[in-house]
Structure 1
Amino acid sequence: MSHQALAELRAVPHALICRTWRTATEATCPRTTQDNVTVRHEHHVFHNPPSSTPAEVHAALDRGELPAALDAMVGTALHGDGDWKELQDLHLRLLEHEDHQVSALAATCLGHLARVYGQLDERKVVVALRRARTLPHTSGTADNALEDMQIFLRPRRARWRRRLRTAIRPWTWI
C-alpha cells in the first residue's frame, strides 16, 4: 500500500505521511489528487548545522553563499564554541546586514547566545534589538530574541512577569 493510500485511509495530512516514508535522498514526492493530477511538492528537512567560527561566516558572506552563511551563523550561536563577546559583536554587525534573511537570523542568534552562554552585554544588545524591532523584516525575530533574553538572562524576573500577566488577564486562567 502506498503512503498516499495510507494518508487517505487515516485522514492524515499527506505531508505527515511523506515525512515518515521519505528517505534523505528524495527531494520531491509525487502525489495524485482526486482529479488524478500528479502534483510534485518538496519537503523541508531540519538539520542542525555544525559548529563554526565567525571567520567562516564572513568567508561565506564574501563568497555570496547565503545558505552556507546562514548555517554558519546558527553554528556559531548554538554550539557555544568561542568567546561570547566576539560572537555577540558578530551578530550585532550582521543585524544591520542588507540581506533580510541575514539580519533576521542575526536577531535569532542573539537569543540563542543568551540561552547558551547565559550572559550578554544587555545595553548594547537591547538597544540594537529594539531598533531592529522597528523594521518589518526583523520585528518578529527581534521580539523573540528580547523574550529569550528575559527568560535566560533574568529568569526570576521573567517568571514574575508571567505570573503578573496571568493575574491581570483572567481569561488566561482557563
Structure 2
Amino acid sequence: MTMRYHDPSLEHDEAVRYLATSDVSKVTEALISIGLDETNGDWAEHTCLQFIEHPDDEISAAAIVAIGHIARRFGALDMTKVTPALEQARRRSPSLSAAVNDAMDDIEMFT
C-alpha cells in the first residue's frame, strides 16, 4: 500500500456541504478540515461533538481527532461537553480508544 498525503483544507461552506452527505470519506475529510482550518472555534467544537456520536466509527474517529486539533489551535474547549462525549464514544466502541487517548493528550497539552 502506498500512502499519499492529502490536504483536507476545505472552505467553511464546502465543509458544511460535505457534512450533509452520506459519503463517509467526504464527512471525515470535512471533520479533519474543520479541526485544522475552521476559524470559528465554538462552531467547530459544536459540530465535532455532534459527529462524535455518529454510528460510523470512522466518522466518530475523525470528529475525535478534530477535537484534538481544535484544542491545539484554540487552547480551550468546553470540557463539560467534551469529556462526556469522548468517554461515551470510548464506551460505545472500544476501537475508538486510541483516538480518544490521543485527543485527551492534545487537550491536556494545549488547554
TM-score of the superposed pair, with normalisation by structure 1: 0.58
Q: Give the superposition deviation at 1:61.
A: 4.1
Question: Which structure carries more relative contact order (alpha carbon 8 Å, separation 6+)?
Answer: 2
Give the greater-gyration-radius structure (CA). Answer: 1
Q: Is the 8 A contact 2:15 2:33 kept in 1?
A: no
Does the CA contact (< 8 Å) of 2:49 and 2:85 recur in 1? yes
Task: Indicate conservation of the 8 Å contact 1:95/1:102, yes or no.
Answer: yes
Q: Does 1:62 align with 2:20?
A: yes
Q: Are 2:77 and 1:136 aligned?
A: no
Structure 2 runs not aligned, ≥5 long: none
Q: Please identify runs of 4+ aligned residues in structure 1 that moved more than 4 A.
A: none
Question: Counting strand residues as a fraction of each chain, which structure ranks higher?
Answer: 1
- Equivalent in the alignment of 1:47: 6
1:76 aligns with 2:12: no
Give the aligned partner of residue 106 of structure 1. Answer: 63
Gaps of 5+ in 1: 1-41, 154-174
The 8 Å contact of residues 115 and 149 in structure 1, kept in 2 or not, is answered as yes
Identity of aligned residues (%): 28
RMSD of aligned residue pairs (Cα, Å): 1.7
- Partner Cα distance (1:61, 1:98) in 2: 14
Residues 149-168 of structure 1 show CA distances to partners (whole Å, capped at 9, x for unaligned) of: 00001xxxxxxxxxxxxxxx
The total of aligned residue pairs comes to 110
> Letter of the aligned partner of 1:105 in structure 2?
A
Structure 2 CA distance for aligned equivalents of residues 69 and 57 of structure 1: 8
Opposite residue 24 of structure 2, the aligned amino acid is L
The answer (yes or no) to whether the contact 2:8–2:32 under 8 Å persists in 1 is: yes
1-structure distance, mates of 2:57, 2:14: 19
Q: Distance in 1 between matches of 2:23 and 2:54?
A: 14
Q: Which has the higher helix share?
A: 2
